Amino acid sequence: MTLTLGTGPLAAGAPDAANYNLDGPQHKLLFTEFPRRIRAALGGQTVVDSEHAMLLHESNIFPVVYFPIDDLAAELLERTDHSTHCPFKGDASYWTVSVGDTVADNAVWGYETPIEGASWLRGYVAIEWGRMDQWYDEDDEIFGHIRDPYHRVDARPTSRHYQVHIDGHLVADTTDAFVISETGGDNRIYIPPADVRTEQFTRSETTTHCPHKGDTVYWHHLETDSHDVAWSYPAPLEEATRLPGYFSFDGPSVELSRKQ
């Protein structure tokens, strides 16, 4: 993410090539407004419905959504004895969410008496993302985690000549790829299926979700028995609509080369 990971200004390893200094500890916190309504549901009941959510940007961590505690359904919460300590925020209190027989133990936490330097967390709580059944950004259901407003995905066509080998086997050859530049990461090359020897691959059971690009499917290379060495987005989100079905490759057996 542009602020907290990689070489972002709030990352622990922020770049030296700058004409300014950011005063403060190496581990930095930034609390900013989220501009839209967010809702979460469990067992068919709304747990939170907020137009006043905040994003906590924390060095080397994905942004976390915090809500005014009054925006949560108090009748679904039960305080527990569980607590944790964060050296940057303080001692966290926890609540369990219960909807009938559906229980999410210690799924809500907040810093009721945050340490100096994080006092603005008082009165806010966070919800463990994967413990809820649904999340909505306005009326758009979202998965994985909230989209970072400081994150970009840029897809640019390239006519440069790329080849991909897996353990010496040529599996892709293209002059019609896309270069994907994503904040905080290295460029990736995505190759159209017409330029991939798809008969050498079979889809694996592995799936992941990227909140910026969509649901990811993975592919095994049959001839070398190399697992999950390619992936694609069958129905990408709007930030990656130029990539439906395009293949990208990575792994110790993968060699991506550019021909002159």
Given pLDDT bands bounded at 50, 70 and 90, which one contains residue 2?
A: low
In 10 A of CB 180, how many CB atoms?
A: 22
Q: What is the mean pLDDT of the chain?
A: 91
Max intra-chain CA distance, the chain? 66
Query: Which pLDDT belongs to residue 5?
Result: 67
Give the separation between CA 29 and CA 39, rounded to whole angstroms. 24
Given pLDDT bands bounded at 50, 70 and 90, which one contains residue 244?
A: very high
Q: What is the pLDDT of residues 168-226, one digit of tens each?
A: 999 999 999 999 998 878 899 999 999 999 999 999 999 999 888 999 999 999 999 99
Q: How many CA atoms lie within 13 A of 164 on its CB side?
A: 28
Residues 6+ apart with CB under 8 A from 26: 12, 59
Read off the pLDDT of each residue in 87-92 and give the average, rounded to a whole number.
94
Q: Which fold has domain 29-142?
A: 2.170.150
User: Which one has a higher pLDDT value, 152 or 14?
Assistant: 152
Query: Which pLDDT belongs to residue 146?
Result: 84
Query: Which pLDDT belongs to residue 19?
Result: 65
Mean pLDDT lowest for which of 112-116, 178-182, 235-239?
235-239
Give the separation between CA 148 and CA 136, rounded to whole angstroms. 15
Residue span(s) of the chain under CATH 2.170.150.40 come to 29-142, 153-259
CATH of 153-259, one of 3.40.220.10, 3.40.1160.10, 2.170.150.40, 3.40.50.2300: 2.170.150.40
Q: What is the pLDDT of residues 5-29, one digit of tens each?
A: 666 677 666 666 766 666 767 778 8
Give the separation between CA 56 and CA 198, rounded to whole angstroms. 42
Query: Which pLDDT belongs to residue 144?
Result: 80
